[in-house]
Structure 1
Amino acid sequence: MPTVLVIEDEPGMAAYLKTELQFEDYSVLLAYDGLEGLQVYEDNAQVDVILLDWMLPKMDGLGVLRRIRQTDDVPIIMMTARDYVSDKVAGLDYGADDYITKPFKMEELLARIRVVLRRGHERATYQVNDIQLDTKAHSAVKNGTFIQLSQREYTLLLTLIKNVNQVVSRDELLDQVWGTDYTGGTNILDVYIRHLREKIDDDDSDVIQTVRGIGYTMRTAGNDN
């Protein structure tokens, strides 16, 4: 049963979508503002499609889209009451899979959901040495063994792997993993790096290396530059 995350601030519309989608045998998760939508997404790895309203409180739909696209290619259909070409262009440029204007017929939305599910996305995998990340499955594997990671740990590892053999600054890691609006202490990064090392490093390897005064890097075997 595919899972649809509906991020919609109008309770009546959210309830309507939930009822109709459940009738079509979808499992439905609801969120009523942008920040809650991100939290529900982070807490549920098996989200197959996101229906994302453009105008949301706390964080708008475009902001939510940009945050999710940093780590995931889950299909996202934008919903909006504004039929502006500029909105469509912006949403598609930032990685939306489709765009539907309110009011819409439920049959049309269901057809669009079927299309993005059928089309799917090429599974994106990243590998450094014996560690492999699968962004579609939200999984991390080392030597064939599944690594249990929290969402933050997963996003941190993915950011480092995407920049393999490059130094990623502390500020960039904080922005990518905790968001540009994060106002807490920077020591949280060191805590998560330590947790990550405990889960992925062998006794004779140091996959994640500290670059003093700058940040962190992941090195491929034999690359010590």
Structure 2
Amino acid sequence: MVIGIIEDDRLLRKALDTDLKKQGYTTVLAGSGKEAAENINKNVDLLIIDIGLPDGDGINLYKEFQKNMKIPAIFLTARDEEKDMLEAFDMGAEDYVVKPFSMKVLRKRIEVVLKRKSGERVFTCGDIMVYSDRKQVFAGKDEICLTAREYQLLEYFIINQNQVLTKEMILENLWGLDSEFIEENTISVIISRLKKKLGTASEVIRNVFGVGYRMGE
């Protein structure tokens, strides 16, 4: 996989280059929009673009790329402004990372985008990644072995993340028509087992007192 890094900060560009090469990626580097126009081609699978470039705006640069080649992009910026995020997403950006950021988190986001490009359904929340098609779950770098019910519950949570899910909704999703014969306490037991297996990554799953549960960063 080839990743294009368009970043004017020389030290950050070098750090990204070194880290991604260690992960097995091939990189193409550019420190400006002009260099990017010269170096980026259709062989690149993913772009990492700094919004603030010395010779223009990263979003406008991406607009130009999109005219000739459809390459997914993750934008980097020091500006945590909603309008920038929305404009980037409107242009087809896959993700948006605010500086300073964790290299580990960026690697995970890159992996998700590339998996999505390949057609595989991947869901992520914090350090948890769910590969829906092959029913695999990772907490950080560790693969987690779940029972069928635990997996079904986690997938339901992560697909509906940031939404409050009542116990009734969870019961119906896991057991369907048989949910009326299942005790509500069963949900608490399954969630407890699930969180124990996920370890510290499970902190994104929270109890909403008196209502149900919510998964979100």
**Shorter-chain TM-score: which interval?**
0.5 to 0.7
Instruction: Report what 1:209 is aligned to.
Output: none
Instruction: Report what 1:15 is aligned to.
Output: 14
Task: State how 1:1-225 maps to structure 2 within 5 Å.
Answer: 2-42=1-41, 45-120=42-117
- Structure 1 residue 63: deviation in Å? 1.2
For residues 69 and 117 of structure 2, the distance between their equivalents in structure 1, rounded to whole angstroms, comes to 13
- Structure 1 residue 57: deviation in Å? 1.4
Code of the aligned partner of 1:8:
E
Code of the aligned partner of 1:67:
E
Task: After superposition, give the CA deviation of every residue in 1:134-184 in whole Å (9 maximum; x if it has no partner).
Answer: xxxxxxxxxxxxxxxxxxxxxxxxxxxxxxxxxxxxxxxxxxxxxxxxxxx
Q: Who wins on radius of gyration, i.e. which is larger?
A: 2
Task: After superposition, give the CA deviation of every residue in 1:49-76 in whole Å (9 maximum; x if it has no partner).
Answer: 1100000011220111100111222111
Structure 1 gaps, min length 5: 123-225
Aligned CA distance change for structure 1 residues 121 and 62 (closer, same or farther; 3 Å): farther
Code of the aligned partner of 1:28:
T
Assess if the C-alpha contact under 8 Å between 1:80 and 1:100 holds in 2: yes
For residues 32 and 40 of structure 1, the distance between their equivalents in structure 2, rounded to whole angstroms, comes to 11
Structure 2 gaps, min length 5: 120-217
What's the TM-score, normalizing by structure 1? 0.51
Task: After superposition, give the CA deviation of every residue in 1:83-107 in whole Å (9 maximum; x if it has no partner).
Answer: 1011100111112111111111011
Assess if the C-alpha contact under 8 Å between 1:65 and 1:95 holds in 2: no
Q: Which has the higher helix share?
A: 2
What's the TM-score, normalizing by structure 2? 0.53
Aligned CA distance change for structure 1 residues 87 and 121 (closer, same or farther; 3 Å): farther
Moved over 4 A (4+): none
Q: Percent identity?
A: 34
Count, aligned residues: 119
SS at match of 1:78: strand
- Structure 1 residue 79: deviation in Å? 0.4
SS at match of 1:79: strand
Code of the aligned partner of 1:57:
P
Aligned CA distance change for structure 1 residues 121 and 97 (closer, same or farther; 3 Å): farther
